[in-house]
Amino acid sequence: MLFNYETKTQQGETKTGTVEALTQDAAVETLQRNNLIVLSVREASKISLTNKRIKFFDHVPQKEIVIFSRQISALFQAKVPVIESLQAMVDQTKNVTFKEVLEDITESVNSGNSLSKSLSSHKKVFSDFFISIVHSGELSGNLEEVFDYLADTIEREYYLTQKVRGAMIYPAFILFGLVGVMFVMMVWVIPNLTSVFSEADIELPLLTRIVIGISEIFQSYWWLILIALIGSVVGFLHWITTRMGRVIWGAIQLKIPIFGTILTKFYLSRFSDSLSTLIKGGLPIVKSLEVSANVVGNYTYRKIIEDTIDNVKKGGTISSIFKKHNEIPIMVSQMIAIGEQAGKLDSTLKTVADFYHKEVENTMDNLVTIIEPLLILVLGIGVGILLVAILMPMYNITSAM
């Protein structure tokens, strides 16, 4: 049972957080054993509904995890004890949600749990990949190196993800603006011009009649179109959370023109980087593959990795399964095969990860350069069609006068 507490230290500093205990009295005793003056203790389930709703929207940015890994590595290298290192992170963290998470982790470690076990209580913040690497660091006694390496890996992943998202947000924003302009034109502008054309009693060009027809549909059923659009977005987001949706969408992603190639390289970079890190951290190959399957982010690749796990358990190799799938480039299969034969799979995978990381960055830079004039052209054509549809009958009216 979880209890929320408010306490004071012997120095008078107020602290809040959660503690796990069988009863409220047991929670009080746990806090007092840690030389804390208990001010209040209550069941976590009794928190108001308002606070629960606020917590639902709480988020810990990946950048916070990078900073945490970097700083705690420096503290460990300076031989600062784990509890004091965690407390230092609690004191300097600005993100309220992350501060609460770190307070809970500190309390858990202080109660005798390992750091990796304490982190595993917050899987919404710390991934299986992160927890597994920390666990391997505990076993090897190299936590400072592990956290420094984690910071490098997560930071590289963070900037690559941001670059991909940034390249996709720009065209989405332009297209959204184009749809918005078209919607306003169809619902408000075109209907006003239609009355002018009706009074002029002239034969309208085909293009103008098509635009007016579309405008009448929008004017009469704009609310239905809006509901359909919102419903489609919500339905799609729900669909991709289902098993069938993940399977189909995972395959579609890799076949989207231009972006499919980028996403393929992105997922291969993520898989190679995570597997290399896990193997270098000393985790068994099967466990490393299981964690990589969870973090790769695409169901098609997840299924390939799961098939690979079954094969490895039977004594097979990773490359033998990868060679059977078209989604895995031949170069990757060959590189992994070389790494397996030489006993240097971790360094080979790191080479693959670095290669695809650079490939994605270069592709993104080129795409941003190309996509801007292309979108301007699309926007110009859309606006041009509307202008021609409006100006042609206007010209005919002027000529008839």
Q: What is the CATH number of the domain that holds 122?
A: 1.20.81.30
Q: Are residues 46 and 181 in the same domain?
A: no
**Model confidence, pTM:** 0.69
Q: Are residues 110 and 225 in the same domain?
A: no
Q: Which range of residues forms the domain containing residue 143?
A: 62-154
Q: CB atoms < 10 A from the CB of 197, how many? A: 20
DSSP 338-398: HHHHHT-HHHHHHHHHHHHHHHHHHHHHHHHHHHHHHHHHHHHHHHHHHHHHHHHHHHHHH
pLDDT at 61: 83
Q: Are residues 288 and 146 in the same domain?
A: no
* Tens digit of each residue's pLDDT, the chain (401 residues): 677 777 777 766 777 777 777 677 777 777 777 777 777 777 765 444 344 434 444 578 888 888 888 888 888 888 888 888 888 888 888 888 888 899 989 888 888 888 888 998 888 888 888 888 888 888 777 788 888 888 888 888 888 778 777 777 777 777 787 778 777 878 787 887 777 777 766 777 888 888 888 888 888 888 898 899 899 999 999 998 898 998 899 999 999 888 888 889 989 998 998 898 888 878 889 988 998 888 888 999 999 999 999 999 999 999 999 999 999 999 999 999 999 999 899 999 999 999 998 998 888 878 777 877 887 787 788 778 877 887 777 776 666 55
In single-letter form, the type of residue at position 358 comes to K
- Domain stops at, among 125, 154, 183: 154
Q: What is the tens place of the pLDDT at every residue in 41-62?
A: 777 654 443 444 344 445 788 8
Q: Are residues 360 and 283 in the same domain?
A: yes
- Domain stops at, among 135, 154, 173: 154
Number of domains present in the structure of the chain:
3
Q: Which two tokens stand for residue 362?
A: 């270069």
Q: Are residues 222 and 352 in the same domain?
A: yes
Q: Are residues 242 and 391 in the same domain?
A: yes
- Domain stops at, among 134, 154, 174: 154
Q: Are residues 85 and 37 in the same domain?
A: no
